[in-house]
Amino acid sequence: MSVRPIIKYPDQVLRQKAKTIPVVDKSIKTLIDDMIETMKAGCGCGLAAPQVGVSLRCIVLGMPEEEPFAIINPEFVKRTGEREIEEGCLSVPDLGGHVKRSISVIVKGLDRYGKPIRVRGKELLCQALEHEIDHLNGILFIDRVESQDKLFKKEKPVEVEVQDAAAELAAKQ
């Protein structure tokens, strides 16, 4: 398992419709393992194969407090409701935006062993499923932002040395 580089916008692989995976073999399982490691390293809750430069229909998801899993050739079976939520993306790291997503979804596909699965998603899992399947269709969350005023620049976290923070605190006392 290895962490792969995350492809950043405007790389064209992010705009291509990913190809169906005809058979789940060792190379696909390796891809899944690498995608899970890459997702964890990037502190994400989902990742699509195009985000690591592979134009295949495979996504991985990792919800808080749950084991990460993969869906190969995912397809929506059902979508219910609509809500507006804040979203970001590992491939568009400097921007966030407000987009409309479903309230719940049902997705079918294959697991890492090639067995058929169905996944029901609500809240964060629903959002991640829609976001990652969008990637497989060459769609980014910035394409779903209805107007420029719903798009915003993310502030980068400031890293402060512990000694600098302690000195600053002492100076204030």
> Which residue do the tokens 């290895």 mark?
2
To the question of whether residue 98 is assigned a binding role by annotation, the answer is no
Helix (H, G, I), strand (E, B) or coil at 118: strand
Residues taking part in catalysis: 132
The rounded distance, in Å, linking the Cα atoms of 22 and 144 is 30
Q: Which helix (H) or strand (E) holds 8?
A: none
89 known ligand binder: yes
Task: Please give the Cα distance from 50 to 91 (Å, whole number).
Answer: 10
3: exposed, middle or buried (C-beta count within 10 Å: 0-12, 13-18, 19+)? Answer: middle
CA 116 to each of CA 6, 112, 155: distance values in angstroms, whole numbers, following the listed order: 28, 10, 41
Q: 3-class DSSP state for residue 78?
A: strand
At 139, the amino acid letter reads: I
Q: CA quadruple 92, 96, 102, 104: dihedral positive or negative?
A: positive
Summarize the annotated binding site for Fe cation as residue ranges: 89, 131, 135
Summarize the annotated binding site as residue ranges: 89, 131, 135
